[in-house]
Amino acid sequence: MLKFIIRRLGAAIGILFGASLLLYVLVINSGDPLEDLRESNAENREYLMQQRIEFMNLDVPWYQRYWDWLVGVGKCFALQCDLGTNRSGVSVDSLLALAASSTLRLVLLATILALIVGIAIGILTAIRQYSGLDYGVTFATFLFFSLPVFWAAVLLKEYMAIGYNDWLRDPDFTLQQILVIAALAGFLMQVFLAGSLRRRIITFAATAVFIGAALPTLLALGYFREPRLGFIGVAVLTFAVALSATAMSVGLKTKKVLYPALITAALVSVLQIVLVNVFVYYMNWWIMAAGLVLAFVIPWFIGRSMGGRYKDLAAGVSMITGVVGAGLTVLDHFFRSWPGFLDLKPRPISTIGSQTPNFAGGFWETALDYGTQLVLPTILLTVISLASYSRYTRASMLEVSRQDYIRTARSKGLPERTVIFRHAFRNALIPIATIAAFDFAALIGGAVITETVFGWKGMGELFITGLNQVDPAPVMAFFLVTGTAAILFNLLADIFYAILDPRIRV
């Protein structure tokens, strides 16, 4: 494996070198970086031209400028990158740090959501092949995939930002709206749960009645402006996750998996009360990151210690319970901070920018501001990526389900959930690893249009500005991040293959 990684990294360096040289030559020959100053009537035109020449090193041959850029990139290995300056004399290192932070938090979240939702949809449609759900989901995912990004972005701005902000000032539903929403929810639920006609009718009726009663109740409680889960709500949902994850993996009768999951849920329920003052008064990003790590480590230790021969499954189910429980705890505190956030920002969903300028709020309000700015572009990038993940998962699950070992597992009398999640799903993930690796790198480059429409100062804006100004330094910084991401994630996908399937050796 080590020789394979070294060989792949060596090839990657060669590819990056060739691609960077080609891109640099194309950019510097795409126009005249002094064109706007040549046509200027300013009295200090000559001074401005000389200043730009010095900033961009236009008085030296192109190959020397390219060599200087390579030397600056080489310093990155010593954590002292020097990517030069743009045509205004601003350090590209600082511009890249700001742009990369904005783009990566957008792309990372969109990729994770697309993976989770896309894989879940793919598994469900594979199980229900050629059903109404299969055809409906296939139509919807390809519809989203084929939508023009700029047009979909405008629709999101109009209905999920402007329309929602107007509605949130005085939340209300008419009787007709409640009936339509309840009927739609009932229809979708019976499609997903399927079953006999009698079961579908009961599912539709129960869901419609529940939604029809819940919406007026939530309005009466002022839930849309003052949402809350509460300690009891977090505890109940965490225990529900523990039971659901255990049931889907090995069944509730397997105590070696069930008990660690329940202990993890109980631990989350207690800690959310014990640490409430830390969440309210002392919370910061470092504490949240440490909490996320502990949400993995502690449940893993509990599962491995109590799982016996099921220790791997017990650790996995416990970690799912711990992470979801921690997420619910954080969500509850976001809910608690929502009214204060609305006082600072009455129209919460913004249509432009990655953060609100001069926003004066505490940790939770600032985090909510970052989150609400992420909503629209994240939804857009997620729905565009859903089609590929769901279809590849569906095709891979159908192919795996026809294998002999799946038929053997069913013939042994194993529960269907065990056959799907323990035998079929793991092998079906192998092609998904390739898609996810390339999609993450592609989204960084493909987010150019999305960032332009939503006014994000990210990698896309850095690239477009450099290209329009015939300034190679920002363009090469964009290439350095996206190209390196593509190479590294492709390498990680190959390594992930061997983890998923021990038969694969490199």
Cα angle 463, 80, 62 (rounded to 5 degrees) comes to 50
- What is the tens place of the pLDDT at every residue in 201-226? 999 999 999 999 999 999 999 999 99
Is pLDDT of 504 > 80? no
Question: Per the confidence metrics, is the pTM higher than 0.85?
Answer: no
Q: Which of 99-103, 292-296, 359-363, 490-494 has the lowest mean pLDDT?
A: 490-494
Place of tokens 């599962």: 303
Query: What pLDDT was estimated at residue 86?
Result: 86
Q: What are phi and psi of 91, to 5 degrees?
A: -60, 130
User: Is 324 in contact with 234 (CB distance < 8 Å)?
Assistant: no
Average confidence score pLDDT of the chain: 87
Cα–Cα distance measured from residue 408 to residue 400, given in angstroms and rounded to the nearest whole number: 13
Where residue 334 falls among pLDDT bands split at 50, 70, 90? very high
CB < 8 Å & 24+ apart, contacts of 15-21: 15/487, 16/483, 16/484, 16/487, 19/479, 19/483, 20/70, 20/476, 20/479, 20/480, 20/483, 21/66
Query: What pLDDT was estimated at residue 314?
Result: 92
The residue-averaged pLDDT of 385-413 equals 86
Query: What pLDDT was estimated at residue 135?
Result: 86
Where residue 498 falls among pLDDT bands split at 50, 70, 90? low
Cα–Cα distance measured from residue 99 to residue 408, given in angstroms and rounded to the nearest whole number: 52
497 vs 456 pLDDT, higher one:
456
Q: Which of 38-52, 273-287, 360-374 has the lowest mean pLDDT?
A: 38-52
**What tokens appear for 192 in the block?**
């997903």
270 vs 356 pLDDT, higher one:
270
